[in-house]
A and B are shown apart, each in its own frame.
Chain A
Amino acid sequence: MTFFLQMLITGVVVGSIYSLVALGFVLIYKASDALNFANGEFVLIGSYICLTLVAVYKIPFLIAFVLTLVFNALLGMAVEKVVLRPLTNAPVISVIMATIGLASLLGGIVHMIWGHQTKSFPPIFSSELIRIGDIIISPIYMWSFIIVMILLAIFTLFFKFSKMGLAMRAVADDQMAALSMGISVKSVYAITWGIAALVAAVGGILLGNINGVDASMTVIGLTVLPVVILGGLDSIPGAIVGGFIIGILQSLSVGYLQPIIGGGIKEVIPFIVVIIILMIKPYGLFGKGGIERV
């Protein structure tokens, strides 16, 4: 039972970070009908920038954290302006390929600057383990979970009550109608990409603190794709629920299936689940299916 709970809690924590990164995907999809395959690179860049600020320039962690968020948000907006803006109304495959090309481009630049070695964050959170009964939680895990929960709450409120959040929802719903109500769709797109990149940076910094920073972090971009699809591409609650489901499933499969089947199950299980779910619900658990007319 202790083992199960331990695995469950690990899954919940990892899942919360998945939810956060998945949120970035969903935001971009809702606003501009594109799936950002370069999200993994945004995560990577965020963690490298923060690491450099903390380790090389000796800036206090909180300030470095904020600076990284600002940088990533600007990067996201720049990417939208340079790469995605000219592709408005292009077919799906062009947009997919453009973000894949972007991933390759950003990945190459990151390798040029920071090389391929794994680097680790200087300890920021205390390393004293927290014990609840027989279950052990590392403080990094707990803090990650708390930060993610706060962020998710902020975003929920942002979409419900702020003017920009409303504008974004309007654009996602119907671009034409939003335009005619005086909403600048262009600036909404730019801000959406900015927020998505910012959210990815938070995920990157948290993951970097847990596992260390290296190029393999971009894998999260691929791992999170099933999360997004599972919840439904256009559903924010879907991204959050999907993140937890995939995180818990991965953790449990590492605990119970890996000894039987062997390594690698962690990367595959999300995709198997997604294929099964898509067969039953083609638009994910919470996604909305469109009506097609000739």
Chain B
Amino acid sequence: MGIATATTSAAAVPATSAARPAKPMALWRALNTALHDILEDTPEAFLLGEDITTWGTGGGIYGVTKKLADDFGRGRVMDTPISEEVLISAAVGAAMQGCRPILEIMYSDFTFLGFDGIINQAAKARYMFGGQFDVPFVLRTNGGSGIGKAGQHSQSLETLFAHIPGLEVVVPATAGDAYGLLRTAVASNNPTIFLEHKNLYNDRGPVSFEPIPFGVARIARHGTDLTIVATQQMLKRSLEAAEVLQEQHDLSAEVIDPRTLFPFDMQTVITSVKKTRHLVVAHEAVRDYGWGAEFVAQVVEEAWNDLDAPPRRLGGLRTPIPYSEVLENAVIPSANQIVATALATRRDRQHV
């Protein structure tokens, strides 16, 4: 049916920012720049969210909307009441009427207050009405743990959103991806959940100011002995783990960042597994029933004969995210656990 491989064409993004030289910047600044460029060249776009103009240094809780209200006015960058339910469904209604609203929900945990708008309305409006309506709605929010925000400000909900037909789910891990994927999210005519990670906002990386298409995974590190699939904070830890595996165990890990969980790029993963014959999936969302299980299942179905060992999954424990640092560190996978799991996978091959 062509659904699972649907991609949003990056060609739909206006090209006014082309030919700008690439430069390194923090992830939050890359998002800020993307929003600036979007407001400049997309008249249908506007931003709304709680405390997005005057909090902190003047741009929401992590600075992503800094100075945008100054540059584009309060007509396009709007502070809202604390009313997630109506804000989410209003953004959907505005999108159905030809706008490109970009709604910031302060923490992804708060999206639960507006799930009707996301799941019953945004995700289904195109389908139930027989394809009459585009829903170019972007919900920007942050998920993930690592900075002591505790149980109701730290969840990783990407699996939950990826499960819903009709939604696109974006999980950028680097500054460059954050810029490029946000440009594509706003150009997309599908509702998009754009999940930032609160512990990556200050990570710096090169930004080339080009849109990045959905459904195209990035090989973050090339390798030959083992494939690791990971997103966001787990990607970072997987890259650290890959260095340890190389230096201490002479194992060459290939690390893949899916970048979007729907649409998703299975082909890059399968091609890699055919080469390395070993797979580990690491994510911060709760491991049980998580998206890693989906990736593993598809690899098993499509490349069983290319595997030398059972694929393994790492994910968050089946607990809420605790507050105390020692506990918080205990509930999501560490680089050391990724190393240990990779070694276990390689050991398993002897039994094959």
- The finding on whether chains A and B are genuine partners in a shared complex, rather than unrelated, reads no
